[in-house]
C-alpha cells in the first residue's frame, strides 16, 4: 500500500504518497492511541462526509484527545484528496493519532496528527459473493463491555480482536466472523453491522457496545421508507437458526447478503435485495431519501 503514486493529506498539506511516513516511536503504534474513519467516494463525492468527519472527532474525544481540525476543515481535507487523486469511485481512510514526542503510557505532550488517504477500491466482497451471500462463522472473541473499552469510538485498538476473528474465519474457509458481545448476545461482524429479517420485519442488535454504523442508520431509514418495520433490540445467537434473511451493513461492505452462518444456510431474500438496491441508488444520488 505504501509504494504507489498519489497524494495523501497529512497535517494540513498534500504530500506524495511515498513520503507520508511516521516514526517508529509513534505513540499510537505502541499504545493504540489512534482513531480512524472509512468512507466511500461515489461519482467523486464522499457519501455522508460530514457524518464521518464528526465521528472521527468524537472517536478521538472518547480516547481523550482533540483533533486540531474542525469538522469543516476535515471535510475540506477529504475533498482535496478526492481532487488531488482525481478519484471518482474510491475508499477513503482518514486517521488521527498521537505522535512520537513522548514515549510511555502517559502521552499528554504528543502532537495529534491527522492524515487522509484514498484509493480506487471495488466491492468489499466480490460481485459473485454478493449474489450468493457471504459465509460467516462465529468469532472466538467477544465485543467488550462499554466500561471495558471505549466501544463507541472507532478506535484502532478495538480492531485487534476483529483482525484476529477475521483471520481465524478466513483460515477456516469463511469470509467473515460474527461476534457475540460480553453478555453472549449477537453484536456485529468484524467490520460491519448485523441485520436479521424474520416474518417481513427487520431486527438488529442495540449498539451499546459496538459501532452504531452510519450505513446502519441509513439502511434503517431506507427500510422504514419502504414501510418495513425495523426493531432494535437485544438479540441472541439462537435467533440465527430461524432467520429468513441476514445481511451486513458498512461503508465498505455496503449492504452485503449473508448466505451461511456456520453451516446454517440462507437465501439472499427480497428485503436484502431491495435495501441493497436502494442503498446503491442512494449513494449515487439516484434515490431521494429522508435519510439523505
254 binds ligand PMP (CB under 6 A): no
In whole angstroms, the minimum distance from the beta carbon of 207 to ligand PMP comes to: 9
Report the alpha-carbon distance of residue 90 to residue 177 in Å, rounded. Answer: 25
176 binds ligand PMP (CB under 6 A): no
**Residues between 210 and 249 with contacts to ligand PMP, criterion CB under 6 A:** 210-211, 213-216, 249
Cβ closest to ligand PMP, residue 99 vs residue 213: 213
In whole angstroms, the minimum distance from the beta carbon of 219 to ligand PMP comes to: 9
Closest-approach residue to ligand PMP (CB): 213
In whole angstroms, the minimum distance from the beta carbon of 191 to ligand PMP comes to: 4
207 binds ligand PMP (CB under 6 A): no
111, 154, 166, 201: the active-site residue: 154
- The sign of the CA dihedral 282, 122, 142, 104 is negative
In whole angstroms, the minimum distance from the beta carbon of 265 to ligand PMP comes to: 24
53 binds ligand PMP (CB under 6 A): no
Cβ closest to ligand PMP, residue 107 vs residue 155: 155
SS (H, E, C) the chain: CCCCCCEEEECCEEEEHHHCCCCCCCHHHHHCCEEECCEEEECCEECCHHHHHHHHHHHHHHCCCCCCCCHHHHHHHHHHHHHHCCCCCEEEEEEEEECCCCCCCCCCCCCEEEEEEEECCCCCCCHHHHHHCEEEEECCCCECCCCCCCCCCCEHHHHHHHHHHHHHHHHCCCCEEEEEECCCCEEEECCCEEEEEECCEEEECCCCCCCCCHHHHHHHHHHHHCCCCEEECCCCHHHHHHCCEEEEEECCCEEEEEEEECCEECCCCHHHHHHHHHHHHHHCCCCCCCCC
Report the alpha-carbon distance of residue 268 to residue 174 in Å, rounded. Answer: 17
Cβ closest to ligand PMP, residue 29 vs residue 252: 252
**Which of 115, 117, 177, 192 lies at the binding interface for ligand PMP (CB under 6 A)?**
192
**Which range of residues in 78-86, 106-114, 115-123, 186-194 is near ligand PMP by CB under 6 A?**
186-194
- For the question of residue 154 being annotated catalytic, the response is yes
In whole angstroms, the minimum distance from the beta carbon of 52 to ligand PMP comes to: 7
Per-residue contact track with ligand PMP, 19 to 38, x per CB under 6 A? -------------------x
Cβ closest to ligand PMP, residue 99 vs residue 191: 191
Per-residue contact track with ligand PMP, 64 to 93, x per CB under 6 A? ------------------------------
Among candidate residues 269, 114, 116, 141, the one with its CA nearest the CA of residue 202: 269
205 binds ligand PMP (CB under 6 A): no
Q: Which residues of this chain interact with ligand PMP, rule CB under 6 A?
A: 38, 162, 188, 191-193, 210-211, 213-216, 249-251
Amino acid at each position: 500500500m505504501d509504494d504507489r503514486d498519489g497524494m495523501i493529506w497529512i497535517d494540513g498539506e498534500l504530500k506524495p504518497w511515498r513520503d507520508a511516513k511516521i516514526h517508529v516511536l509513534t505513540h499510537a503504534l505502541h499504545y493504540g492511541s489512534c482513531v480512524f474513519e472509512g468512507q466511500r467516494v461515489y461519482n467523486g463525492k464522499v457519501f455522508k462526509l460530514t457524518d464521518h468527519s464528526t465521528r472521527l472527532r468524537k472517536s478521538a474525544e472518547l480516547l481523550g484527545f482533540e483533533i486540531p481540525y474542525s469538522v469543516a476543515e476535515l471535510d475540506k481535507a477529504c475533498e482535496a484528496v478526492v481532487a488531488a487523486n482525481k478519484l471518482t469511485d474510491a475508499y477513503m481512510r482518514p486517521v488521527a493519532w498521537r505522535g512520537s514526542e513522548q514515549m510511555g503510557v502517559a502521552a499528554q505532550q504528543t502532537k495529534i496528527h491527522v492524515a487522509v488517504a484514498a484509493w480506487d477500491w471495488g466491492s468489499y466482497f466480490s460481485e459473485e459473493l454478493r449474489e450468493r451471500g457471504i459465509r460467516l462463522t462465529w468469532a472466538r472473541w467477544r465485543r467488550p463491555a462499554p466500561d471495558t473499552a471505549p466501544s463507541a469510538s472507532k478506535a484502532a485498538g478495538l480492531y485487534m480482536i476483529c483482525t484476529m476473528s477475521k483471520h481465524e474465519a478466513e483460515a477456516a474457509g469463511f469470509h467473515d466472523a460474527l461476534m457475540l458481545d460480553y453478555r453472549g448476545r449477537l453484536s456485529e461482524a468484524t467490520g460491519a453491522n448485523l441485520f436479521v429479517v424474520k416474518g417481513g420485519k427487520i431486527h438488529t442488535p442495540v449498539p451499546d457496545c459496538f459501532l452504531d454504523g452510519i450505513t446502519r442508520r441509513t439502511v434503517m431509514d431506507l427500510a422504514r421508507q419502504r414501510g418495513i418495520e425495523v426493531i432494535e433490540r437485544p438479540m441472541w445467537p439462537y435467533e440465527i437458526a430461524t432467520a429468513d434473511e441476514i445481511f451486513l451493513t458498512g461503508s465498505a461492505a455496503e449492504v452485503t447478503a449473508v448466505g451461511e452462518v456456520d453451516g446454517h444456510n440462507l437465501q439472499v431474500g427480497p428485503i436484502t435485495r431491495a435495501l441493497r438496491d436502494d442503498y446503491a441508488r442512494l449513494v449515487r444520488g439516484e434515490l431521494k431519501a429522508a435519510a439523505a
